[in-house]
Amino acid sequence: MDVDLVVPMKHPRDGKSRLRGAVEADRHPALVLALAADTLAAVVATAQVRRVLLVAADPAAVAELRDLGIEIVGESGKGLNQAFRHGAELLRKDDPGGVIGALQADLPALRAGDLAAALAEAAGRRAFVADRQGTGTTLLLAAPGAPLDPRFGPGSARAHQASGAVALRGELPSLRSDVDTPEDLAHVRNLGVGKHTAARFGEPCATPG
C-alpha cells in the first residue's frame, strides 16, 4: 500500500537544541540539515512512498532539501502537532482515501527496507513505531482516509497507543534510531549514517544510500 508522508522541520538554526555541542556552534545548522537529508534520501528511495511533504518553519532555510525529490510548504500555526496536521490536511485534499503518515526528520541511519517493513506490518491499520528508548515516536501511520491525529511530544508512544494506534513490533533498528542527544548521534554513527551526515564528520558513507 502506498503512503504519503509529512515530515516537520524547525529552522535548522533552532532545531535539535539538545544536540548542541556535538559539533562547533556554527556547524550546528548544517548538521541538522544533514540529518534531515539522509532521512529524506532513504524515504524517497522507498518504493511504497508516493509523496513527501516537508512542513518547514522557514521553507527558504531548508530549500536545498527539495533536490532530494520532496515538496516543501510553510507551517500554519505553531507547534509540532500543528505542523503535522497542516501537512496531513494538504495531502488529504489531494487524495481523500489515501494513507498518510508522519515521520521525524532526524533518522540519518534510516534504511528504505526498514520503512518498507513498517508499512507492510501496519497493513493499513493506524500504527506507530516507537523510538529505541520506547517513549517517543518516529513514525505514525493513519488508516486509509482517516485523520492523522498526531500526538507527538514527550511520552508520545504511550499517547499514540492510547489513541488506538498499533505498536509495530518489527526490529526496525534504523527507523527507531532518532537523534536527540549526543549519545543518540554516537549510536547512529555506529549503526551507519547516510552520506550527508557522514560528510559532516569527514567520513565516507557506510550505507548503500
Ligand X SMILES: C=C(OP(=O)(O)O)C(=O)O
Among 115, 136, 188, 194, the residue binding ligand X under the rule CB under 6 A is: 136
Question: Dihedral sign, CA of 190, 196, 86, 12?
Answer: positive
Closer residue to ligand GTP (CB): 86 or 92: 86
Would you say 177 is a known binding-site residue? no
- Check residue 160 for interaction with ligand GTP (CB under 6 A): no
Give the list of residues 6+ apart from residue 97 with CB closer than 8 angstroms, or none. Answer: 144, 145
Select the binding partner of residue 84 from ligand X, ligand GTP, none (C-beta < 5 to 8 A, by kind): none
The Cα 88–Cα 95 span in angstroms is: 10
Residue pair 141/101 in contact (Cβ under 8 Å)? The answer is yes
The Cα 144–Cα 123 span in angstroms is: 10
What would the grid cell of residue 188 be?
Answer: 547512529
Number of residue whose CB is nearest ligand X: 136
Closer residue to ligand GTP (CB): 154 or 202: 154
Radius of gyration of the chain (CA): 16
- Check residue 84 for interaction with ligand X (CB under 6 A): no
The Cα 143–Cα 153 span in angstroms is: 21
- Check residue 108 for interaction with ligand GTP (CB under 6 A): no
Select the binding partner of residue 10 from ligand GTP, ligand X, none (C-beta < 5 to 8 A, by kind): ligand GTP
- Check residue 149 for interaction with ligand X (CB under 6 A): no
Would you say 153 is a known binding-site residue? yes
Among 37, 88, 122, 152, the residue binding ligand X under the rule CB under 6 A is: 152
Binding-site residues for phosphoenolpyruvate, in ranges, read: 137, 153, 156
